[in-house]
Each structure stands twice: as structure tokens, then as C-alpha cells.
Amino acid sequence: MVITQPAAPGPAIRLDDLTKTFGPLHAVSGLTLEVAAGQVFGFLGPNGAGKSTTIRMIMGLSAPSSGTATVLGTDAWDDGPGVRARIGYLAGELALPPRLTGDAILGWTARARNVENRSRRHELAERFQADLRRPVGTLSKGNRQKIGIIRAFEHDPELLVLDEPTSGLDPLLQKQFDDLLAETVQRGRTVFLSSHELDEVQRVAHNIAIIRGGELVLADTVSALRARAPRSVELTFSAPVDKAEFDALPGVQVLGQQNGRLVLAVSGEVGPLLEAAASHHAIDILARPADLDVLFRSFYRAPQEVPVAR
């Protein structure tokens, strides 16, 4: 039986003007963000965007240059030990002592965290088919990652901070991981998940933030983003048409043209587009649902002014 617990009041994580500099380099600049309790929050960004630096400040591993990271109601840096007892953490670059077995590593972590009940460890090990008896130095990256996941979830923390958690996992285990996340938030826990895998985040997260160059460029719910994301429409005509006419339509951008075929990105109403297509005697139309990848990639690439929505 799954016991659903209410999420704790107040945000699980609140970042206020969080900044981290290394000499002249601004790794994170004025990051302000709230992660509501009881959800999966996807934290996206290209490599070097500042995701791991932000996570290290959330975990109290690194002091902010300015601003604050408030985690479960307490300051992550000033009240580190108290708040870390309530967090499960998986580092982006998981490093485990190579000569120890998974059992030894998990046993050590459990003792250090005063976790006496081993049943959850066994349950998770079975679920992910983790080999806990061999030295981790002999395991593949995916099998080591399983140990990291078990360690993060074993003490049933209120908040999980996971940096690239499915790195190295095969698709079947990724599905297991997605299910585990869903069960975790159903029980009132919060998951803060960093990734550069766009597909993974849009699959599991309720809310998403994108960081680029240390700055927040987008924060919104997945459903709102999906509504805003452009649909892909392909029109086929019996003869070539003037693409400028279609480019001028509101919410329409011509992505490509080949003979009588036009590839368009369409956001907003499709009425004007359909009228224009009909006037040119379109012979075929192919429309694809909104793809967040297209939207995400636009935020990943060229710097642009994007209003931050919550």
C-alpha cells in the first residue's frame, strides 16, 4: 500500500539572487528560483551552464558568493548538517572507492546516516538489479550509477537532489527510474533533477528551469511550455509557392522549402495558415504535436531575451 503524504508547506528549495564566482568567471549569476514541494523539478542546461555549481550550493558543498539557497526552510550553507539529513543526493560525477563493494559502500552510508532499516536498500537493489557484491571498480558506469541511486533514495529523504541521475542507465532501467520518481513525489517527496537530456526531463518533470551561462533563461510548467511550443507543419502544393507570403503570417515561421513543399513552425492559431494554404490549393498537410525539444534547443543556443515565467 502506498501512503500518500502531504507535501511540506512552503517551497522545498528557494534560491534568492544566488551567485557564484570563481575569480572573473561568473559560474552562476543572480539565480532566483522556487521549487515547490511534492513535485519533480527539472533543471536543464547545456554542459558548463552552471547546473552542478548550483547543486553544490544547494547541498552546502560550496558557499555562494552572494545570495542565498534556502532548502527545506533552512539556509543550505549555515545550517548544512541539519538540512543534509533530510536530503538524498546523487552527484553528477559519481566517484566511489573502487575497491569497496556496493554493499560496503551502502552499509557505510547507512551507518553514517543512522539508517537501520535495510529493507529499502534490498528493495531498490532488486528493482534496479544492482550487483552489490563486486568491488565497484569492476562495475560498468551504469552499474555504479545504480549504487548511487540506491544511496540517494535509501533513507527515504524529503528532498532528492539528483545530478544527471540516469547517466549510463539502459532504457529499461530508465523506465524503472521514472516510475521510482513518480512514486516518490506521490508520497509527498520533492525531486530536484538536473539533466541535459531534454527528453528525460520533459518526461518526468512537472516544472522546468533552463539555465545558460549561469543565468536563468526560462522557468515554467511543462504543460505551459508545451502550449507555447511551436508545432511542426508540412504543406505540399502542386506547384512552388512564395514562402515570403507564409513567413508574413502571424505565428508562422518558414523553416524550409523544397519545390512544392513548405516546412513551417507554427505557434498560436492555425486559421490564417489554413486559409493561405487553401488559396494556393495545398494537396497535403502533415502536422506534428508541439515538441519541447525545439523550444529547449532555442534556449540552449543563441542568447535571447526571454521573459521568465513561473
Partner 1 sequence: MLGDISRLDLRLRRQSSIAYAVGVTAYALLIVVLYPTFRVDTSLNKLTEGDSSLSALFGATGSLTSPDGWMNANLYANFLPLFVLFMTIGYGASAVAGQNEDGTLGDVAVLPRTRAAVLLEKVATLSLLSLPVPLLCLVASLAGHHWQVDLAVGALIGTTIGVALLGVNLGLVALAWGSWTGRRGGALGVATGLAAVSYIVSSLAPVVSWIHPLRFYSLFYWAVGDDQLVNGLSAPGVAVLLSSAVALGAVAWRGFQQLDIR
All three cell numbers of 98, joined, read 573502487
When binding is defined by CB under 8 A, the residue of 81, 171, 289, 307 that contacts partner 1 is 81
Q: Which of residues 28-57 bind partner 1 (CB under 8 A)?
A: 56
Give the whole-angstrom CA distance, residue 299 versus residue 201. 15
Q: Which is nearer to partner 1, 100 or 290 (CB)?
A: 100
Give the whole-angstrom CA distance, residue 72 versus residue 38. 12
Amino acid letter, 34: E
Torsion of CA 179, 184, 190, 192, to 10 degrees: -30
The SS3 call for residue 254 is strand
Least separation in angstroms between CB 99 and partner 1: 7
Q: Counting contacts by CB under 8 A, is residue 252 touching partner 1?
A: no
Using the contact rule CB under 8 A, the part of the chain among 3-11, 31-39, 96-104, 205-213 near partner 1 is: 96-104
Using the contact rule CB under 8 A, the part of the chain among 85-93, 137-145, 207-215, 284-292 near partner 1 is: 85-93
Least separation in angstroms between CB 79 and partner 1: 10
The SS3 call for residue 260 is coil
Least separation in angstroms between CB 216 and partner 1: 21
Using the contact rule CB under 8 A, the part of the chain among 33-41, 86-94, 135-143, 289-297 near partner 1 is: 86-94
When binding is defined by CB under 8 A, the residue of 31, 94, 130, 264 that contacts partner 1 is 94
Amino acid letter, 225: L
When binding is defined by CB under 8 A, the residue of 95, 172, 239, 302 that contacts partner 1 is 95
When binding is defined by CB under 8 A, the residue of 76, 96, 106, 210 that contacts partner 1 is 96
When binding is defined by CB under 8 A, the residue of 29, 62, 145, 202 that contacts partner 1 is 62
Least separation in angstroms between CB 132 and partner 1: 17
Give the whole-angstrom CA distance, residue 220 versus residue 240. 40
Q: Which of residues 109-168 bind partner 1 (CB under 8 A)?
A: 109, 111-113
Instruction: Tell me how far CA of residue 252 lies from CA of 75, 245, 256, 274, in angstroms.
Output: 46, 10, 12, 11
| 136: exposed, middle or buried (Cβ count in 10 Å: 0-12, 13-18, 19+) | buried
Q: Say if residues 58 and 14 touch (Cβ distance below 8 Å).
A: no
Length of the chain: 310
Q: Say if residues 254 and 243 touch (Cβ distance below 8 Å).
A: yes
When binding is defined by CB under 8 A, the residue of 51, 84, 144, 146 that contacts partner 1 is 84
Least separation in angstroms between CB 153 and partner 1: 14
Q: Which is nearer to partner 1, 53 or 176 (CB)?
A: 53
When binding is defined by CB under 8 A, the residue of 61, 263, 265, 306 that contacts partner 1 is 61
Q: Counting contacts by CB under 8 A, is residue 99 touching partner 1?
A: yes
Q: Counting contacts by CB under 8 A, is residue 208 touching partner 1?
A: no
Q: Say if residues 259 and 240 touch (Cβ distance below 8 Å).
A: yes
Which ranges of the chain does DSSP label H, i.e. alpha helix? 51-58, 80-84, 102-112, 119-127, 141-153, 171-186, 198-204, 222-228, 243-247, 271-279, 292-300
Least separation in angstroms between CB 250 and partner 1: 49
For binding to partner 1 (CB under 8 A), which residues are involved? Answer: 56, 59-63, 80-82, 84-85, 87, 89, 91, 93-97, 99-100, 108-109, 111-113
